[in-house]
Chain A
Amino acid sequence: MDYLKAKGRIFDIQRYSIHDGPGIRTIVFLKGCPLRCRWCCNPEGQNYKVEYMRVNGEMKQYGEDITVEELLPKLICDEFYFRRSGGGVTLSGGECLTQPDFAPHILHACKDLGYNTAIETTGFSTWENIEKYLPYLDYVLQDIKHINSQKHKEFCGVENEIILKNAYRFAQSGVDLTIRVPVIPGFNNTPEEIADIAAFAASLPNVKNLHLLPYHRLGEGKYEGLGREYLLHGIEPMDKNYMNSLLDVAKKSGLQCQIGG
């Protein structure tokens, strides 16, 4: 089948993103995720099924089936910016690894156009699946949320063994890999937990960068809009000084570390 005809489900496209990979980028959000992280700021992307969320008092549909061919014009319109900045397209979600019959074809089309390609991923998938993406992939931003598998399961709904394993395989594959850590109060924001994650990241071959992403509440309103309960209600974001102290901890791993993407 012509890969341009491949169809999948997305729920948003965000242009002029400058914090998710090199240069100026467009992010395509794919629907569906095997994880259920309590802090997730895109809960409308978790279920594969089409959903409705109340935004500013109006019900809005999330989830649209689209072919690669139909998607392309929405990416090409910012080609001037990609070219000038060395940027391109990032697939995010949801979890883009859940749509292996669609997502790799988007990346393929983007490579044909000469764009830089990236994915933001949990890394939770079979390696056979991930291998479909690799030929068209320049850059991977993978989350490592916790080293303790039980705690990972408690807060994210799945254990972390496969995630850690895939991080290692990504690192070995030669693709440019950056590790990201959403720093969540009450989950992984102690110096020890951050140090563990950083040590793991530093142990991966070829990995140089670690990003700490401080918890924010921007997703809270969405849970209400979806009629779901927000499990982290009442949790305050950390102050700047505390985040900086965690940054110092992370830096001890020898990686280049930064706050934010």
Chain B
Amino acid sequence: MKKYNTQNIQKTDRIAKLLDDLFAKMPEIESDRAVLLTESYMQTEDKPIVMRRALAFSHILHNIPITIRDNELIVGSSTKAPRSCQVYPEFSFEWLEGELDTVATREADPFYVSEETKSELRRIFPYWKGRTTSELATAYMAEPAKTAIDHNMFTPGNYFYNGVGHFTVKYDEVINCGLNSIIARIQEKLDALPVSDPDYSQKHEFYEAAIISCNAVIDYSKRYAELAMEMANNCTDSIRKRELMCIAKNCARVPQYPADDFYEACQSFWFIQQLIQLESSGHSISPGRFDQYMYPLYKKGIYDGTLTREFAQELLDCIWIKFNDLNKCRDAASAEGFAGYSLFQNLCAGGQTKEGKDAVNDLSFLCIGASMHTLLPAPSFSVRIWNGTPNEFMIKCAELTRTGIGLPAYYNDEIIIPSLMSRGVTLEDARNYSIIGCVEPQSPGKTHGWHDAAFFNMLRPLELVFSNGYDNDVKVGLETGDISSFTTFEDFVAAYKKQSDYQVSLLVNANNAIDVAHGERCPLPFVACLVDDCIEVGKTMEQGGAHYNFTGPQGFGIANVTDALYAIKTLVYDQKKYTLEDFKEAMNLNFGHGLTEKFAKRSTEAVVKTLIQEGRDIDENIIAEIYKMLLEGVCTNEQKEKFKLLHNDIDSVPKYGNDIEEIDLMARDVAYIYTKEMEKYKNPRGGMFQAGLYPVSANVPLGEQTGATPDGRYANTPIADGVGPRGGYDVLGPTAAANSVAKLDHSVASNGTLYNQKFHPSALSGVAGLQKFVSYIRAFFDQKGMHMQFNVVDRDTLLDAQKHPEKYKSLVVRVAGYSALFTTLSRSLQDDIIARTEQTF
């Protein structure tokens, strides 16, 4: 007999209908949460902040509209309309206030807003002036850090404007013990707390707030029980009536009590997953090792005959759809960086148990089945691979990859476990890791990892070397000296390191300021009940209550910086064919290449504005001429010729991504400049900084903020994706590219690395194709690669989707650490995805 039941299960009609309904309308912004939150806050100004948070959470859960959608088996919706979002003004609101009238028509992730919602939001926004985490964070930040942010050296925007999120809670405890038992545990701590305890006030408030929050969640589930019963009573369809009665029964029991069966476990899981995301706007609330903690009740049901594989599959499919029912509206700039309406709810399967045995079970296969059935961007589905992962599991994963949905992402236990241990995580906790958000590993249920803390553009310090620390005449870096003073390549690299180190210190300042602001203004008492050691120590996660604490900002641009340094080493210092001044001149004039259409337009507007201010007469012809000049490049023909030669020479210097030892080792050192510097710093929660190496999708918008660079990259164009080579410069195929990537020291980037590849479907055709594909991943992992994910879709399909978006509404592509609907991405990001080297076989 085979060890696992790997047989595919037919998708039910219910799932098809739920999917249709999910995409029937454009996502909407709803104001209920913001209004209720504001009401509560206005009445609790005399109370400690953690209590105010609990009371507001409770007020919201008792009053927010609830709905059960047609055909649902798992219930709990944060908004009336599907795929819609609530507003979280306690973190920031100015951007939304400013964008209310444009958010429906913007390019990346548009949301519909009704006039009524607009006026509701406009009514409450003034209350929040001066009360948000983002304003407090700004007040705490050092001036040079603010300047650096203004100049896009790094962007801590994620937590600056939103909740923090990025954790996995103890779903297993809620499912197996129920919230009642957690409340009892808190009550015990409260009863045992001596009034003389030096932290009595803080702990006492926290415990009371925690109990209020848990009770609010229980009451919320009871509201659903009542609604379901009411709907059942009015339902004429006998089948649906029975379903609704079952929903009512489930909601009356969980999450208050331990789940009795697999269905209740699913409902209990979902309420927790949903409501964490109503307490705060923090994203990347990741379900973690779902196939592990859901398995005992699955197994029990299958063994005692009360559960069929088919029904379990349908329930998983329903949960998968619910993940996509939640949504988040970000400011226009962030929306580009996180394009695709993604909440990064990362769900993990496979890997090892805490004891180091293989963890794959039948439910792991059903998880793959659910992604296969729904073909939706959420959940971000990750699989953990180790040397003992069964081949049949990997083959099934490869079948999912072949659908082109960009899932699953493959992670290497053999590198991640030691990497986490090097950060002080115990062996058992490290073996139990799961993935957060895009690619970030953590020990679930006990970590506040602050992953995704900021984007650090590794090319910007390189620009500062050429400008001696200035950006548009503003000093944002250090004065490392005029470029003529760098007599050796080592001098040049030392200057780069100095500039980078300085920006890292500013990033740390900015992140820590935001960290403190969240602790003071938005502690989260409900989440604290579900993460160790918050109850034990009587503190929320934001105040340092978690067992493990980290801050994980991610650097990107390794390929560009490496190629740039190697070009400079070769052409300036080895061959002495050019000087650094030659590079500087060419970069300033964008290699004579003119600007992108978007920037030519933007610059034209700026120039015209200045001319008008100077009182010049401007007509359309002049404007057209300025535009043309900017588009074609403002330099002499002689310069153009010179720059072209330089650009050709840069292009012919060997590049990262081709398995060339010398360059790959340089890439390793380039990564160290960022990753090793980061480890030196601490955060206010008592944890360390740990670097990641991935850009989410920020390599496109942040590339737009970056001038031409010595690797030959033109101004305002995308930066390389993840730790991969620059698109089109890896010319020896996927093994050579993967070998280059594997030579980076991934374990030092313990906040995660991201290696994205685009494969043609023919690469995975037939059983033999799948097997070779699996071998390819295994061989990359043998070399200590950390992560791999794939876009499997042909170029023609993508081009056609750009032309006829209406035909491709549900086309999912892997963006970077997550999957998104292709047609919702901005045009430039679409172009970038198309331009990524298509690996064919």
Contact = CB atoms under 8 A, between A and B. Distances in A.
Nearest to A22: B768
Contacts of B735: 15-16, 24, 77-78, 81
Contact of B732 (A15, A18, A85): A15
A14 B735 CA distance: 11
A16 B779 contact: no
A182 interface: no
Contacts of A81: 735, 775-776, 779
B776 A85 contact: yes
Interface residues of A, number: 17
Contacts of B733: 14-16
Interface in B762-797: 763, 769, 771-772, 775-776, 778-780, 782-783
Contact of B772 (A15, A18, A77, A80): A18
A83 interface: yes
B739 A24 contact: no
B66 interface: no
Contacts of B769: 18
A18 B779 contact: no
Interface in A1-28: 14-19, 23-24
By CB atoms of chain B within 10 A, which of A15, A80, A83, A85 has the most?
Answer: A80
B445 interface: no
Contacts of A17: 841
Contacts of B841: 16-19
Given A80-B779, A83-B779, A84-B782, A24 B736 contact: no
By CB atoms of chain B within 10 A, which of A15, A17, A83 has the most?
Answer: A15
A80 B776 CA distance: 9
B287 interface: no
B739 A77 contact: yes
A218 to B, nearest CB: 12
Nearest to B782: A80
A85 B659 contact: no
Interface residues of B, number: 19
Interface in A188-232: none
A69 B108 CA distance: 54
A78 B742 CA distance: 12
Interface string A132-170: 000000000000000000000000000000000000000
By CB atoms of chain B within 10 A, which of A19, A23, A83, A85 has the most?
Answer: A85
Nearest to A86: B775
A80 B743 CA distance: 13
Interface string A51-90: 0000000000000000000000000011011011111000
B701 interface: no
Nearest to B773: A18
A83 B778 CA distance: 10
Nearest to B736: A15
Nearest to A17: B841
A24 B732 contact: no
Contacts of B695: none
B535 to A, nearest CB: 46
A77 B763 contact: no
B707 to A, nearest CB: 29
B739 A23 contact: no
A77 B763 CA distance: 21
A77 B736 CA distance: 8
Nearest to B734: A16
Contacts of A80: 779-780, 782-783
Given A16-B733, A18-B841, A24 B659 contact: no
Given A23-B775, A81-B735, A84-B775, A18 B763 contact: yes
Given A18-B769, A24-B772, A84 B734 contact: no
A200 to B, nearest CB: 26
Given A23-B772, A77-B739, A84 B732 contact: no
Nearest to B732: A15
A80 B387 CA distance: 14
A78 B780 CA distance: 10
Interface string B190-233: 00000000000000000000000000000000000000000000
A18 B762 CA distance: 10
Contacts of A83: 779, 782
A85 B782 contact: no
A14 B731 CA distance: 11
B203 to A, nearest CB: 53
B398 to A, nearest CB: 13
A16 B783 CA distance: 16
B599 to A, nearest CB: 29
A259 B769 CA distance: 14
A71 B216 CA distance: 70
A24 B736 CA distance: 13
Interface in B652-702: 659
Contacts of A78: 735, 739
Contacts of B736: 15-16, 77
Nearest to A26: B735
A103 B734 CA distance: 26
Contacts of B776: 16, 24, 81, 84-85
B782 A77 contact: no
A249 to B, nearest CB: 22
Contacts of B771: 85
B784 to A, nearest CB: 11
Nearest to A73: B661
A241 B53 CA distance: 67
A83 B732 CA distance: 20
A77 B659 contact: yes
Contacts of A86: 775
A84 B774 CA distance: 9
B775 A85 contact: yes
A85 B777 CA distance: 10
A85 B739 contact: no
Contacts of B732: 15
Nearest to A80: B779
Contacts of B780: 80
A177 to B, nearest CB: 18
Nearest to B780: A80
Nearest to A74: B659
Interface string B265-301: 0000000000000000000000000000000000000
9 contacts: A16-B735, A18-B841, A23-B772, A77-B735, A77-B739, A81-B779, A84-B779, A85-B775, A86-B775
Given A18-B763, A80-B779, 7 more contacts: A14-B733, A16-B733, A16-B735, A77-B736, A77-B739, A80-B783, A85-B779
**Would you list the 3 A-B pairs with minimal beta carbon distance, nearest first?**
A85-B775, A80-B779, A84-B775
